[in-house]
Amino acid sequence: MLEHSGRKAVLKITLPHDEALPEPDALELWEGHGAVRLLRADRSAYVLLLERLDGNTSLASVPLEETTEVWGALVRRLALVPDDRASWAAVPLLAADAETWTDTLPADWELLGRPFPRWLLEHALITCQQRGIVGRRAEADVLVHADLHYFNILRSDAGQAAFQHDGGWKAIDPKPVLGDAEYGVAPMLENRIPDLDAAHPSAHLRRRCTALAGAAGLDPELARDWSVVRQVRNALHYLGEGGKDQAERSLWVASSLLGRTLPGLPPAAELAGF
């Protein structure tokens, strides 16, 4: 443990990779409101000095149904509208990525031997086409924490949370993008699948997606569609890397969200977890 100006702090050292580049910029924009506070950064070395949170208490320790409102409130707090601060320039544009995916997703699908039905790929492509550069709703763009799952939400350091109106929950490890807030729902759906209703896990997953969107004030249909895009991308990535178990999880989530769970996948309770 370190201290910075009398404040407890931790040092985060990241292996250099492109996704980590805009992390300090997003943390600067949030200024400690809803996300861990950035104290200092050495960008060239990928080293960040951060306020210390309670690493033993994540949202993963909270009963599933009680996480919805916590997550929704955090999403609302993190959804900043762009202003004139220089840090915004480093945040990737989701619509530009979606435009690229309209080419890369079908190419990867073909390269991998068409590993899942075309209808699932086409659903993802339609969303990318509608939300790409041409269909982008620039007035709705906000800063999105694109990896906001249970394990990336921690409580403030012991003794502080009790005095904070939001319970002291803060996000860590952002993968920021500028775009639809609904893009951020997917990580909450691919975690804790064994906690879903064992008798009807697919239906429970769809209810979870709707409930999470409602708690954050989002469009539930768009949240579903962006989640399908992300899970289709994940499945193709995992298959390309030989990660069959992880790909099956992604395909289960994507197809179940559309009410057409693919046959031949393991039962939900047996899917690879985090």
Q: Is 246 a domain residue?
A: yes
Q: Is 35 a domain residue?
A: no
Whether the model pTM is above 0.85: yes
Predicted confidence (pLDDT) per residue in 60-93, tens digit: 999 999 999 999 999 999 999 999 999 999 999 9
Dihedral, CA of residue 172, residue 178, residue 181 and residue 184, to nearest 10: -40
What range defines the domain where residue 243 resides?
Answer: 55-153+181-270
Among residues of the chain, what percentage have pLDDT more than 70? Answer: 94
Helices 67-78 and 201-216 sit at what angle, rounded to 10 degrees? 40
Q: Is 197 a domain residue?
A: yes
Q: Is 160 a domain residue?
A: no
Tell me the pLDDT band of 20, cut-offs 50, 70 and 90: confident
Query: Mean pLDDT over residues 186-199, rounded?
Result: 96
Query: Mean pLDDT over residues 124-144, rounded?
Result: 87
Q: What is the pLDDT of residue 110?
A: 98
Q: Is 64 a domain residue?
A: yes
Query: Mean pLDDT over residues 7-34, rounded?
Result: 92
Residues 183 and 177: their CA atoms lie apart, in Å, by 9
Q: Is 62 a domain residue?
A: yes
Residues 145 and 127: their CA atoms lie apart, in Å, by 20
Q: What is the pLDDT of residue 17?
A: 86
Query: Mean pLDDT over residues 121-140, rounded?
Result: 87
Token pair, residue 73, equals 């409130």
Q: Is 9 a domain residue?
A: no
Q: What is the pLDDT of residue 135?
A: 66
Q: How many domains does the chain contain in total?
A: 1
Q: What is the CATH number of the domain that holds 149?
A: 3.90.1200
By three-state DSSP, how is residue 107 classified? helix
CB < 8 Å & 24+ apart, contacts of 60-66: 60/150, 60/151, 60/191, 60/192, 62/150, 64/192, 64/195, 64/196
Query: Mean pLDDT over residues 45-61, rounded?
Result: 94
Q: Is 27 a domain residue?
A: no
Predicted confidence (pLDDT) per residue in 200-241, tens digit: 999 999 999 999 999 999 999 999 999 999 999 999 999 999
